[in-house]
Amino acid sequence: MGSRPIINVHNPATLEKVGQAVSTLPEEVPGLVEKARQAQSDWAIRPLAERTKILRQVQSALVDRADEMAELVSQETGKPFMESLATDIMNAISVADFAIGRVEHLFRESKVDLGKLSSPMRLLGRSSYLVPRPLGVIGLITPWNYPLAIPYSQAMMCLAAGNAVLIKPSSTTPLTALRMRELMEESGSPPMLVQVAIGAGTEVGEAVASSTVDRIIFTGHTEVGRRIMTLASQRLTPITLELGGKDAFIVMKDADLNRTAKAACWGSFVNCGQTCAAIKRIYVHRSILDKFTALLVKEVRSLRQGYDINDPTISVGPMISERAVLDMEVQVSRAMEQGAKVLVGGKRTEGLPGHFFEPTLLSIPTQNMDIVRQETFGPIVAIMTFDTEEEAVRMANDSAFALNGSVWTADLEQGRRLATTLKAGTVMVNNVAYTYGLGATPWGGRGESGFGRTHGDMGFEELVERQHLHVDKGKFSSEIWWPPYEKENLEAMRDFTGLIFNGKRDRLLHRLLNVRRLMRR
């Protein structure tokens, strides 16, 4: 076995070293899966009340150490302390609270409605049930932008459903995941139930995707998601993909423009725009374009960039790396070549030591530009106009991505109507990008934004298998379709099928009694 590489973690805002983590070797991943599987076999048979008690202890520990964990998140990502509390800690706690409270409902056995066959099956002493069971070990491959909210919320959903987890956090932000596991075990989580594999995605992440885990939940870049899906398919491992976004923000002419501009500013530049559900395309009714744009520009200019955990007035942190900053510079340059106009921002932030890029608004003359078509994982937002509802919907839906979207209007009926026509996993009316923290609501998209759901009942459905249990009271010695085949059985089968599915209910009881007679012979 080779030597273990050391990952040095630096704060992207200050470039100072935060700490270090020891990498997992790819060949160690199968052993981690096996350890998790052993722990899961015991966890799954524990009484539900006992599992719930332990998870509540974990929750209490995170609440008690909220500031400590938020500070670590800020150190690893450079994001403002307010954002670490609101979008990492709060979201994590909220989703886990839903999971713990909902788990009793999750494991209720349900009887299957057999439709037209219900009465015949009941007469024959037969019934079907769905019995929820944990899948086993869930592999979580998580990104750097929300190093606590994403792995914690997903892990707690998995644990509540009776599974174990193997977490592969981003190699950029491994310290938060390691501290999270420590907190879980200190709070009573069984040893080995939560495993963490540290290392590069191209090595350790791919090892997880190729392992014997029972499901993979991947959150990250679309192209990486395709690679993970390819590897998982070799073992037919089911997968949930939460990928990129290009979220649309539609401003109708009757919207409250002051509130809408504030929302657009936050939704565009939260986490320095490094959020899958951040606003990337703003569509404004032509009649209010100038007024709305002026308000939004004012909001953006008021944002303070920097890094200081003790300064609550800092609103925008850095990008995660120098490479990310260079990518923003290329995207702005390309957009200007294609006819975009910079309204505010557009360049690297001066006077700060880290990887800072200015919050940027671009006025876009046409939808068919790279800045509109391609993913932008950073603080750049394109503003365009529309004249009719139909045009707004057509432009918003003209994207390969479909994660989130929002409609802004004083007419709630109009807002709901437009929302239902938008191609996105979640559409909000008069709010933006915060429902990840509503644990009862599903999270996910379609198209280039991936498939499957986390959170809510839909998320739970991807963490259990509903085994079909069919119970026969054993009243009869044979079935009419069992050999030896006879003419009388054939006629009974023909009559039985026709009467049930052709709706001739008046003769059904008589034929059923004849079937019972044949089966008792």
Determine the Cα–Cα distance for residues 50 and 232; give it in Å rounded to an integer. Answer: 33
The identity of residue 92, as a single letter, is: A
Whether the bond between 484 and the residue before it is cis, its omega within 30 degrees of 0, is yes
State phi, psi for 487 to the nearest 5 degrees: -60, -40
Rg, Å, the chain Cα set: 27
Contact 364, 371 (CB under 8 A): yes
Determine the Cα–Cα distance for residues 389 and 283; give it in Å rounded to an integer. Answer: 11
- The secondary structure element, H or E, covering residue 143 is none
Task: Give residue 311's Cα distance to chain centre.
Answer: 31
Contact 169, 58 (CB under 8 A): no
Pick the closest to residue 252 from 431, 415, 367 (CA basis).
415
Determine the Cα–Cα distance for residues 158 and 164; give it in Å rounded to an integer. Answer: 7
The identity of residue 195, as a single letter, is: Q
In the Cβ-directed half-sphere of 67, how many Cα atoms lie within 13 Å? 3
The three-state secondary structure class of 472 is strand
Tokens of 94: 């909220």
- The secondary structure element, H or E, covering residue 140 is strand 137-141
What is the DSSP track for 232-280? HHTTT--EEEE----EEEEE-TTS-HHHHHHHHHHHHHGGGG--TTSEE
Sign of the CA dihedral running 370, 374, 380, 383? positive
Pick the closest to residue 376 from 419, 329, 339, 422 (CA basis).
329
Sorted by sequence, the CB contacts under 8 Å of residue 264 that are 6+ apart come out as 249, 251, 279, 282, 296, 299, 381, 432
Residue written as tokens 């068919």?
368
Residue written as tokens 């657009």?
264
240: left (phi over 0), alpha (psi -120 to 50) or beta: beta
State phi, psi for 318 to the nearest 5 degrees: -90, 175
The three-state secondary structure class of 328 is helix
- Give the residue numbers marked as catalytic: 242, 276
Determine the Cα–Cα distance for residues 207 and 210; give it in Å rounded to an integer. Answer: 5
Sorted by sequence, the CB contacts under 8 Å of residue 169 that are 6+ apart come out as 142, 144, 147, 151, 176, 177, 196, 198
Strands 380-386 and 215-219: unpaired
